[in-house]
Amino acid sequence: MLDDARLLPLAERLRPGGDPVETLTRVAWSVLVEPGDGTAGALVDAHGAQEALEIACRDDGLLTPGIVTPAALAEARTRWRPRAQAQAVMEAMTSCLDVGGHLMLPGDDGWPAGLQDLGPHAPLVLWARGDLTSFTAGPAVAMVGARAASPYGESVAADIAGDLAGAGAVVVSGGAYGIDGASHRAALGVGGVTVAFLAGGVDRAYPVGHHQLFERIRKGGLVVSEVPCGGAPTKWRFLQRNRLIAAASLATVVVEAGWRSGTLNTAGHAAALGRPIGAVPGPVTSAASAGCHRLLREFDAICVTNAQEVRELWDDRALDAPSQPRVDPDRVRLLDAMSTRTPRDAHDLARRCGLSVDRVRSLLGLLALDVVVVQTPEGWRRVG
């Protein structure tokens, strides 16, 4: 897969001063797997990226006991093989160079340390455009919320994000319309640092209407993704992107969210990682704030109304407070992969969430006891 002599020089240009072989190997992994693939992460953690790639591409079935099961590896190889093409690796690197991008690997100076809390589901590499030291500029806080935000929501988000960025915090969000965009713009408006995690490649602007915003972010912060250049932003990748926003930040603040908003997915990842969650209250008659009120009622979120209250989420006093029970991150991943309408069998769910079939079946049994999921003749679905 990596025999083409043209690949190593590209890897050197994308990560100057780094080990080009390690860089190229992780680029190959980025092309092979979908974000958050736990089988790939477990192999890389146990064997290193280079040896793990050799294991992934061969058919002898040799495994270190206790890392992944033979069945899980066999399923993963089925997913990976169609993407094992040197041309795809070359195109991803060339596209990144064409837009002035770079690569970040775990252990690099600018790598956000919180991502390692994701364990085997941590990203293997990040594709980036902008200032690679952005995450070292100050404490990172995630500002997320509804795309169809109200004027109230955008105003509150801008006030909080601007105050935080002006005081040295790094504002992290997803680059979407609504609350995300208002938070990014406010941080840039005060000369602060902001980071946008994208669900697709950093060589394409999504949403297209934020092309100019992403250019501004690139000059005053960082645009980053674990999806290689050329990758499209799919629904699954948006959900997986959310775990990076939560993990890279010391706290997550939800400004506006509907009752079933995808923003609650980011809050769920934050809870699974033991990160504090802040929620901005809104009018009880506003559907745009129903998700925030749900976080306050059901997820032990903290009510926040200004930047100082957000800072209290991660200051020394907050760190000394009793910790909340940790949510199983595998449970969050499985629920993310499930639908309330379309039943799916255990094998399909395992493929979507990156867990082994045995682990999925075990979790489904526990979730069924809690009446969170239900089994039908066609498969499993979430309870609405």
Q: What is the pLDDT of residues 265-311, one digit of tens each?
A: 999 999 999 999 999 999 999 999 999 999 999 888 999 999 999 99
pLDDT for 188 equals: 97
CB-based contact 160:189 (threshold 8 Å):
no
173-204 tens-digit pLDDT: 999 999 999 999 999 999 999 999 999 999 99
235 lies in the same domain as 337: no
Range in 133-137, 232-236, 300-304, 318-322 the model is least confident about: 318-322
pLDDT for 319 equals: 37
Residue 131 reports pLDDT greater than 70? yes
Indicate the number of domains in the chain: 3
CATH code of the domain containing 348 = 1.10.10.10
41: its two tokens = 């992460």
180 lies in the same domain as 220: yes
Q: Kindly state whether residue 119 falls inside one of the protein's structural domains.
A: no
Q: Kindly state whether residue 107 falls inside one of the protein's structural domains.
A: no
Task: Give bridge partners of residue 253 from the DSSP assignment.
Answer: 143, 278
259 lies in the same domain as 366: no
366-375 tens-digit pLDDT: 888 778 899 9
268 lies in the same domain as 301: yes
Average pLDDT over residues 151-177: 97
68 lies in the same domain as 93: yes
Of 75, 97, 119, the one marking the end of a domain is: 97
Q: Kindly state whether residue 122 falls inside one of the protein's structural domains.
A: no
201-229 tens-digit pLDDT: 999 989 999 999 999 999 989 999 999 99
Question: Please, which pLDDT band fits residue 64 given cuts at 50, 70 and 90?
Answer: low
Question: Please, which pLDDT band fits residue 116 given cuts at 50, 70 and 90?
Answer: very high
234 lies in the same domain as 163: yes
CATH code of the domain containing 227 = 3.40.50.450
86 lies in the same domain as 25: yes
Closest Cα partner for 195 from 243, 136, 254, 135? 135
84 lies in the same domain as 149: no
Q: Kindly state whether residue 198 falls inside one of the protein's structural domains.
A: yes
Domain, as residue range, for 366: 329-382
How many Å apart are CA 177 and CA 179, to the nearest integer? 7
Q: Kindly state whether residue 114 falls inside one of the protein's structural domains.
A: no
Range in 59-63, 83-87, 93-97 the model is least confident about: 59-63
291: its two tokens = 């998700």
**Is residue 82 helix, strand or coil?**
helix
164 lies in the same domain as 251: yes
Residue 317 reports pLDDT greater than 50? no
Of 97, 122, 150, the one marking the end of a domain is: 97
Q: What is the pTM of this model?
A: 0.84
Residue with tokens 């790939």: 40
198 lies in the same domain as 342: no
pLDDT for 324 equals: 44
258-275 tens-digit pLDDT: 988 889 999 999 999 999
Q: Kindly state whether residue 179 falls inside one of the protein's structural domains.
A: yes
285 lies in the same domain as 345: no
Q: Kindly state whether residue 106 falls inside one of the protein's structural domains.
A: no
Residue 323 reports pLDDT greater than 60? no
Average pLDDT over residues 141-149: 96
Q: Kindly state whether residue 135 falls inside one of the protein's structural domains.
A: yes
CB within 8 Å of 170: residues ≥ 6 apart: 134, 135, 137, 138, 139, 140, 141, 192, 193, 194, 195, 221
53 lies in the same domain as 89: yes
Of 266, 291, 320, the one marking the end of a domain is: 320
